[in-house]
Homo-oligomer: A and B are copies of this chain.
Amino acid sequence: MPSREDVLRDLVIGNRILSNEGIVDAYGHISARNPDASDRFFLSWSLAPQFVDTGDLVEFDLQGNAVDGDTRPPYLERFIHAAIYEARPDVQAVVHAHAEDTLPFGIAATPLVPVIHSGAFIGGEVPVWDIADEFGDNTNLLVTNVDQGRSLARRLDAGNVVLMRGHGFAAAAASIIEVVRMSIYLPRNARAQINGLRLGQIKPLSAGEIAARTGGSGYRPDSPETQRAWRYWAVRAGCGDMLGE
């Protein structure tokens, strides 16, 4: 289990990486569970991820309320994070973003499936959560309360990613590094699939391949392969100096 300090540092780096890699712009956010209090999580106040520093991280409870009375305006959609942490004790980090190339799969009937090895974390057909199913067709599409967050978390179920119709996606993982990697390769997998479909029938990853990549020894946040990518993205995002030795 990483320390609170590790988590806060990696969360800043994760904010910068997601912005630099084009996964978020001024909108979209990443959070991490407090390693010392499983019913709390850290998330920036309403700031573009590119600008987030340690002092911008606010601690929230699972109802989406700031702990310790922080009064800076929060992200409207902090309930996405709160509800996923509530429903999924295994999840330590959450991303919500509008990464452009995931959007087509949120508005059309063809399901997004893993077609490349770096997309294996998807774990099969990615569910689409349509806010209109449960909350009617007069919402502003944002997840702005606990009920909507819980509905989204139910659609995510035990998976790692859920698409949000006309809006974006939410991804959940056991560490900050993993959820960042997932968020970067998700649109790449989407592009490979949509372009592959232009060439005829496609062959997605098999269940066995997905299991081999994601299960047991398939992926470790501390492996040289994972750390290699983390350093690469961090340096590109201009925060290589924040990395530990």
Contact = CB atoms under 8 A, between A and B. Distances in A.
Contacts of A69: none
Contacts of A108: 196-203
Contacts of A197: 108, 198-199
A118 B140 contact: no
A3 interface: no
Nearest to A48: B232
A67 interface: no
A206 interface: yes
A192 B100 CA distance: 7
Contact of A213 (B27, B141, B205): B141
Contacts of A209: 132, 137-141, 166
Q: Which of A48, A73, A104 has the most CB of B within 10 A?
A: A104
9 contacts: A25-B232, A27-B228, A98-B116, A101-B195, A104-B199, A107-B196, A117-B140, A141-B209, A198-B198
